[in-house]
Amino acid sequence: MSSLAGPGVSLAAVRLSGVDLALEHILDDAELARANTFRSPALRRRFVAGRIVLRLHISGLTGDSPGSLELDYVCPSCRNRTGHGVPGYRVPSLARPLRVSLSRSGDWCVLAASLDEGVAGIGVDLEATPSAGFDGFQSVAMTAHERGKLAGVPAPLRSGFMTRLWVRKEAVLKALGTGLALDPATVDVSGPVPRLIGGPASEERWQLQDLDPASVGLPPDFTAACAVRKPGGQHPRRCLVGVSAGGWELVVDSPSGGVETLAMTNEPEALMAVVERLAERFPEEHRSVIEEIVAEEHGLLDDGPIRDYIPVLVERAAKLRLSR
C-alpha cells in the first residue's frame, strides 16, 4: 500500500489471479449484474477479482465489513446515480460516500480510495508499457503543447512518453467523472497540474502523480498515474462515454434532456454506432464517405494495444476530418 498527498488517499496493486473468488458473495447485486454481462469467463473473473480486492481495501481502511458496502455513483454533469460518473461506496461508518478508482491491465490492477472529505474525485490508471506508441495516437489524444514536448523526446523513448501521458489523462478523466465524454485531446497533462483547454486550472484543486511501480507493488514494466480532484470548478456538460463491463457503453445526452445508455458487446458493433452518430452529426455528408473515413481511422489505430478505447478514438479522429 502507498499514500498519495497525505494519509487520506491510499493506493495498492494486486495480482488478480491470486484473489480468492470464493469471496464473490461480498459483492452487491449491482456488481454481480455487471459481472454477468461478461461473455468471457476470464474477463468475468478479473472483474469480480477487482471488485473483491477493492472492497477488501476499503474494509482495511475503515474497519467496515466488506459486504456492508453499497456501490454509489454520481455524475457531475447530470447529477444522477444510475451507474456512471465518479464511482464510490457508501460505508456504514462514514457520513459521505467514499470515492474510489480501479484500473486493470492484464492480470494486475491498481486501486485507490480516499478518506479525505475534501476529495471530490479520484482517478487511477494502469497500462502495460509501452501501449500508446502507435500511429494516430498523437492526432486524437494529445494537445498541441504535448505534441510539442513529444518532438523533443528521443525516438526510442517516445512510446513510453505517450503511454505516460495516456495514463495521466485517464486518471484525470476518471477523477472528473466524465470518462472519454471529455475529449482527451483537450486535457493537457504534460505538467504537474492538469489543464483543461478552454477552462480554468488551479493547483489547489488538483494533484497528479506518476506512480513508481515498485512503490505500489507493480512489476517494473507497467506505467501508472493517480489524480485527485478537490471540490470547486466547472464540470463538462456531457455525460460519460466509456467502456462497460461487457463491452462498450455510450452514455450520451438524450433528446428528452436526460441521458441515454447505448450498450454494445463488440468492437464492430461499437464502430457501427460511431458511423450512425456521425451520420446524424454530419447529415450533409454521404454515408459511404463517413463509413470510409471511419474505416480508414480504424485502420490507423487497429494495431494499438489500448483496445477498449479504439471506437472512441476513431470517432474523435473521424469527427475532426468531417468538420474540416
Cell of 198: 478552454
87, 304, 124, 107: which is closest to 224 by C-alpha?
A: 124
308: left (phi over 0), alpha (psi -120 to 50) or beta: alpha
| CB-CB contact of 97 with 86 (8 Å) | no
β-bridge pairing 9-15 and 2-3: antiparallel
161: left (phi over 0), alpha (psi -120 to 50) or beta: alpha
Q: pLDDT at position 263, please?
A: 45
Cell of 108: 494486475
**Cα 146 to chain center, whole Å?**
20
pLDDT tier, 323 (very low <50, low <70, confident <90, very high otherwise): low
The whole-chain average pLDDT of the chain stands at 76
Q: pLDDT at position 239, please?
A: 40
Alpha carbon distance 91, 93 (integer Å) = 6
Mean predicted confidence (pLDDT) in 161-168: 90
Q: How confident is the model over 226-269, as pLDDT tens digits? A: 999 887 655 444 443 343 334 444 444 444 444 444 444 455 66
* First-residue to last-residue Cα distance in the chain: 48
pLDDT tier, 126 (very low <50, low <70, confident <90, very high otherwise): very high
Does the structure show a pLDDT above 60 at 7? no
Q: How far is CA 151 from CA 20, 130, 136, 146, in A?
A: 46, 18, 15, 9
C-alpha torsion sign, points 243, 244, 250, 254:
negative
| CB-CB contact of 91 with 64 (8 Å) | yes
Please calculate the CA angle 123-54-15 and round it to the nearest 5 degrees.
95
Please calculate the CA angle 50-44-52 and round it to the nearest 5 degrees.
25
Mean predicted confidence (pLDDT) in 201-214: 77
Higher pLDDT, 170 or 97: 170
Alpha carbon distance 309, 41 (integer Å) = 21
Which domains, from first to last, does the chain contain?
2-237 (3.90.470.20)
Q: What is the DSSP letter of 179?
A: B
Beta bridge partners of 124: 226
Cell of 85: 460518473
**Cα 184 to chain center, whole Å?**
11
Whether this prediction's pTM lies above 0.85 is answered by no
Q: What are phi and psi of 240, to 5 degrees?
A: -65, 140
Q: pLDDT at position 21, please?
A: 96
127 three-class SS: strand
Higher pLDDT, 5 or 68: 68
pLDDT tier, 18 (very low <50, low <70, confident <90, very high otherwise): very high
Does the structure show a pLDDT above 90 at 321? no
Does the structure show a pLDDT above 50 at 53? yes
Alpha carbon distance 318, 136 (integer Å) = 11
Q: How confident is the model over 179-205, as pLDDT tens digits? A: 766 778 888 998 888 888 866 555 447
